[in-house]
C-alpha cells in the first residue's frame, strides 16, 4: 500500500457511501458481504471502480461506521450514476445480492474541485473526511479560495496528513452537504492525526487562518480496512 486512497490519481468523480451495520454482532458477516459481494456488484459495470473501505475510529459516531469510496473517470460526472443504475438493474436480473444488515447514512456522487494537494508520497492508513457547507452563498467564491489556498495547505503543513482531495456534491440535499474533503494520513491511528490539527487551531485563529462562514455538517476519522494491499 505505497500510495493514497486514489492511488496517485485525482479522479473526476467520486461515489461516497457511508453506512452502518444494523447488527453489531454481525460485523464480520457484513464486511465479508460488502467486500466480496457488494463491491464487485458496484464495480462490475465499470463506471465506478477502485473501491476503498474504511472503518470509523469512533464506534459511537453518529456520522456512520463505514466509508466506501469509488472513483469514476467519466468527464460528465452527472451522467455516471444514471448509467450505473441502468447497468446495475441488468445485473440484478440475475438475483438480488443485498443484505438487511446495511444501513445507509450518507450516499452520493461528487465531482472534483481544485488542483493537486499532496505534501508527500506516503502510505494511506487512514483518512479524515469532512462534509461542509458555506453558510452564505454570496461569499462562496471567497470560501472556496480560502479552503484551497489557505486551509488545505495549513492542514498539510502540520505533517499529520499528506494528501487532500476536494469534491462538490451533485445533489447537496441528498448528501446533506455541498462540499467533501478527504485527507490521507500514514498514522496508524487517524484520530491521533486529527488531534494534531487541534494543537495548532489556536495559532490558526490568532493568525486569521480560519473562516467563520464554514459549516461542518459531518466529520470523521477512519482507518483503512479493505483492500489492504
Q: What is the pLDDT of residues 18-39, one digit of tens each?
A: 999 999 999 999 999 999 999 9
- Full residue range of the structural domain in which residue 144 is found: 13-226
pLDDT at residue 132, as a whole number: 99
Asked if the structure places residue 122 within a domain, the reply is yes
pLDDT at residue 5, as a whole number: 56
CB of 68 within 8 A of CB of 34? yes
Element containing residue 157 per DSSP (H, E): helix 152-157
Count up the domains in the chain and report the number: 1
Calculate the CA dihedral of residues 173, 174, 178, 182 and round it to 10 degrees.
160
- Specify the 3-state DSSP secondary structure of 67: strand
Q: What CATH code is carried by the domain that includes residue 175?
A: 3.30.70.100
Asked if the structure places residue 118 within a domain, the reply is yes
pLDDT at residue 1, as a whole number: 44
- pLDDT < 70 positions in the chain: 1-8
Q: ∠ at Cα 64 (110, 49), nearest 5°?
A: 40
CA distance linking residue 125 with residue 190, whole number of Å? 8
pLDDT at residue 176, as a whole number: 96
Could you tell me the pTM of the whole model? 0.94
The string of pLDDT tens digits covering residues 174-214 is: 999 999 999 999 999 999 999 999 999 999 999 999 999 99
Amino acid at each position: 500500500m505505497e500510495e493514497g486512497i486514489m492511488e496517485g490519481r485525482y479522479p473526476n468523480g467520486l461515489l461516497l457511501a457511508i453506512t452502518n451495520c444494523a447488527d453489531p454482532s454481525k460485523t464480520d458477516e457484513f464486511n465479508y458481504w460488502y467486500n466480496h459481494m457488494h463491491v464487485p456488484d458496484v464495480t462490475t459495470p465499470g463506471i465506478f471502480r477502485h473501491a476503498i473501505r474504511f472503518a470509523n475510529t469512533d464506534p459511537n459516531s453518529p456520522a456512520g461506521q463505514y466509508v466506501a469510496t469509488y472513483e469514476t473517470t467519466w468527464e460528465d460526472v452527472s451522467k455516471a450514476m444514471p448509467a450505473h443504475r441502468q447497468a446495475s438493474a441488468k445485473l440484478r436480473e440475475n438475483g438480488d445480492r443485498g443484505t438487511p444488515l446495511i444501513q445507509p447514512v450518507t450516499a452520493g456522487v461528487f465531482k472534483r474541485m481544485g488542483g493537486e494537494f499532496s505534501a508527500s508520497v506516503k502510505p494511506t492508513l487512514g483518512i479524515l473526511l469532512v462534509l461542509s457547507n458555506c453558510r452564505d452563498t454570496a461569499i462562496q467564491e471567497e470560501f472556496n479560495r480560502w479552503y484551497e489556498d489557505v486551509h488545505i495547505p495549513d492542514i498539510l503543513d502540520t505533517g499529520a496528513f499528506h494528501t487532500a482531495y476536494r469534491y462538490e456534491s451533485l445533489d447537496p440535499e441528498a448528501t446533506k452537504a455541498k462540499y467533501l474533503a478527504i485527507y490521507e494520513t500514514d498514522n496508524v491511528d487517524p484520530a491521533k492525526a486529527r488531534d494534531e490539527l487541534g494543537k495548532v487551531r489556536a495559532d490558526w485563529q490568532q493568525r486569521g487562518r480560519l473562516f467563520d462562514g464554514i459549516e461542518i455538517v459531518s466529520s470523521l476519522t477512519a482507518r483503512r480496512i479493505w483492500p489492504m494491499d
